[in-house]
Structure 1
Amino acid sequence: MATRTVIRAPEELCIYSNLTRTETLNFLNKIDSKLLILQELIIVDLSSVKLATAAASLLLFAVINRAQLLLEDTNIVRFRLPNKTVNSEGHRYIVKTGLSRALQSGTISKLEELKNDEQYFQSSAEPNIHLFSTIEMLQSKANLNDEQLLLLSSGISEAMLNVSHHAYEHTDFASHVKTIGKRWWQCAWFDHLTDSTVFIIYDLGVGIFKSFTNFQKPTSPIYELEVMRTAFTLGKTRFGTPERGKGSEDIKAPIHSMYAKRERLLVYSGRAEYTFTSDSEVAQTDYNPEFIPGTLVQWELSPIREKSDD
C-alpha cells in the first residue's frame, strides 16, 4: 500500500483575518503542491479544525477538487474529519455545512449531485445553466422581491461570466480548460438568523491584475491596488471599448441599493483586497502580503422586507 503524506490543517481556516490568513494559505499551497506538482497521495487531516469560515472553506474545496478533476483520480486525497463527540465545533463547520461531501465530490457526476441536492458548495463551468439553479436555490429560502432578486442575479451572472470570459484566457490554462472547462467553485446560502443571503464565487484563473493589464506583473503594492480600484470603476474594461465595462457595476449594484438594509461586497485577487459596503460611498482597498491565486468575490445582502398588512 502506497504511503500517504499527512497534511494537518490549522485549527482556524480563515482568510478574512490577518491573524489566520498566512497559516491558512500555507496549508492550501502545501496541498496544491503535493497534488498537482509532486502528484503524491495525501491525507488532509481536518480533525482538529475548530473554525472554518466560508471563503477559506471554498478555497479548500477548489484546490482539492481541481486536482481531482485534472488528474481524474479521486483516490489522490483522503480525509480525516472532525469527530462530532470530540470536536463538535469542527464537525459543524466541516461536516454539517456539506464541505466534507464537497471535498469528496471529485467527479463531474458527483458535482452535479451537489447541485441537484442544493448543497452550499457547488462547482460548474456552465454559467448560462448554473445561474438559474443557483438563483432558484437562494430564492426558495431568501424570498427576495423582484427588484432585490434582479440585482442579486445580475451580480452573480456577471461574476460567472467573468470567469468564462477572462479568468482562464492565457495559454498556461489551455490544458486546464480542455480537461475541466472554465470552472469556478461557489458557496451560497441564506442565513435565517441574520436574514441575509451570502454568495461566494471563486476561480483559480489569472486574477484581476493580470487580466486587466494584459498579463503584466505588479511593480508595486500601490499599482496593484490601483488596478483593483480601476477594475471596479464604471466604464473601465480590459477591452478598452466604451460599450464594455458595465459588468463591475452589476457586481457592485446590490451594495448601494434601496432594496437592502445591510450589504457588503468583498473581493480577493492576488495581494489586493477590495471591500465595498453600504456604510460608505467609497470602496476600501487593502494590500495583503499573502498571494491568493485567481479571484474570489463575496456578497452579503440583508434585504429590506415589506411590512405585512396583517
Structure 2
Amino acid sequence: MIIKVPEVLDLVDHRANTLEVAAACRSNCMIHKKRTLLDFSATKTISSAAVLFLVAEIDRCRKVSGIAMLTGTFPRDKRLNRQMRDSGFYDALGVKCDIPQRERIYPVEYIKVRSGTAADGRLAVELRQALLGPHEEQLAKDKRGSFFRGITEAMTNVAQHAYPDDWDNGPIKVIKKGWWMLGHINKLSKQLKIMIVDQGIGIPRSLPRTHKDVIPALLAMLKLENSDGAMIHAAMELGRSRLEQSHRGKGLNDLKQIIDLCQEGTLRILSKKGEYLYRVRGGQCLPTIVSGHQDSLNGTLVEWSIPLDAILPFLLINEVGNEEK
C-alpha cells in the first residue's frame, strides 16, 4: 500500500491531513496487515510537532507489526531531506539517508527523537548541553537538575496516567507507557523547542479518573463548558487553586513557570480533540486560548518553546560573584 504524503504536514493549519497519514499507517499495518510505503516525493514541509507525532506512529507500527511492514521514500526537497535526517525521522522509518552527516546547512540543531517508557534524566542532560554548549560550565549548580525537571516530570505523568491498566484500545495496540520526545534549537529564530508525545487515553479522559469530584468546580471557576480543551485547562489549574494540591499536570506547570520567570515563551498542549495555548510576550501574559477540533489526536502532544535570549540569562551564573542572572 502506498500512502501519498501531502505537500505540507503540521498540526495547526494542516491537522486533518497529518492525522490522516497516521491513521492510514495504523489501519494498514495493524488492522489490514498490509505492508505500507510512505511516499514523500511531493512533500515540502513538515513541522517539528508533525515530525514527532508521525515518528511516534511509525515507531509503534514497526515495533508492533514488524519492521518490514512500514517504510518510506526520500523527499525531493533537500531542506526537508536534511530535517528528516537530523530529527531521526529516517531512523524511525529504517531508511538510510545518503546525505553526508557533516553537511549541516539546515538551520535547526536537533536532539534526535528519543523514546522510552519511564523518566529518562539523560535526555534532560543532553538537551541542556545542546542548549548551552560552551557556556554549560557557567550554569548554576542548583539549576543543572531543576531546569529540565519539568521534562522528566512529563515523562512520569505519561507512565502514571496515560496508559491505565483497564484501557481497551481495540485492535490498535500500544507501546505500554510509551513516550517520544524531540528537541531543537532554531539558529535563525533563536528559539528552543521541546516536545513530548504519548499515545495514551489523553488528558480529557485521564483527568476525570483521578479528579472527578473537583472538575465541576474547576470548570465553573474557569467559566468553561465541559470539552476536551476545557479539561486540559482544568488539568493545568489543578495545584494552582485551593481545590486540589496534587495534579496530573505537575511537569507541565513546571514548564509554564519557567515561561513566567523568563517572561517569554509558549506552551501548547494538544490532547484528544482539545487544544490549550499559554503565551507570555514581553513580560505580559496573553489570554489563554482553549479550543477544540473535530478530529482526535489519540493521545497528548506537549510543545514548549522559549527564546534563547530570554532563557540564557535566566540559566547562566552572573559574572559578578555567584548570583544567577
TM-score bracket for the superposition, by shorter chain length? 0.7 to 0.9
CA distance in 2, matches of 1:23, 1:210: 24
Which runs of structure 2 are paired with 1:117-132 in the superposition (5 Å)?
A: 119-127=111-119, 130-131=120-121
Would the aligned equivalents of 2:25 and 2:61 in 1 still touch at CA under 8 Å?
no
The code of the aligned residue for 1:276 comes to: Y
Give the match for residue 101 of structure 1. 91
Give the match for residue 182 of structure 1. 177
Which runs of structure 2 are paired with 1:243-282 in the superposition (5 Å)?
A: 243-244=246-247, 247=250, 248-257=252-261, 260-279=262-281, 280=285, 282=287
CA RMSD of aligned residues (A): 3.1
Q: CA deviation at 1:233?
A: 0.2
Give the match for residue 229 of structure 1. 233
Percent of aligned pairs with the same residue? Answer: 23
CA distance in 2, matches of 1:68, 1:294: 18
Would the aligned equivalents of 2:228 and 2:271 in 1 still touch at CA under 8 Å?
no
Q: Which runs of 5+ in 1 are unaligned?
A: 106-117
Q: Spell out, residue by residue over 1:136-181, the C-alpha distance to the aligned partner (whole angstroms, 9 max, x if none).
A: 21121212744765554121122101101000014236999x9844
Give the match for residue 69 of structure 1. 63
TM-score by length of 1: 0.79
Q: Which runs of 5+ in 2 are unaligned?
A: 96-109, 213-223, 320-325
Matched, 1:51 2:45: yes
Q: Structure 1 runs of 4+ off > 6 angstroms?
A: none
CA distance in 2, matches of 1:53, 1:270: 19
Matched, 1:12 2:36: no
Matched, 1:81 2:74: yes
Q: CA deviation at 1:249?
A: 2.4
What is the number of equivalent residue pairs in this alignment?
A: 277
CA distance in 1, matches of 2:84, 2:245: 45
Would the aligned equivalents of 1:235 and 1:245 in 2 still touch at CA under 8 Å?
no
TM-score by length of 2: 0.75
CA distance in 2, matches of 1:45, 1:26: 14
Give the match for residue 112 of structure 1. none
Matched, 1:171 2:166: yes
Matched, 1:135 2:156: no
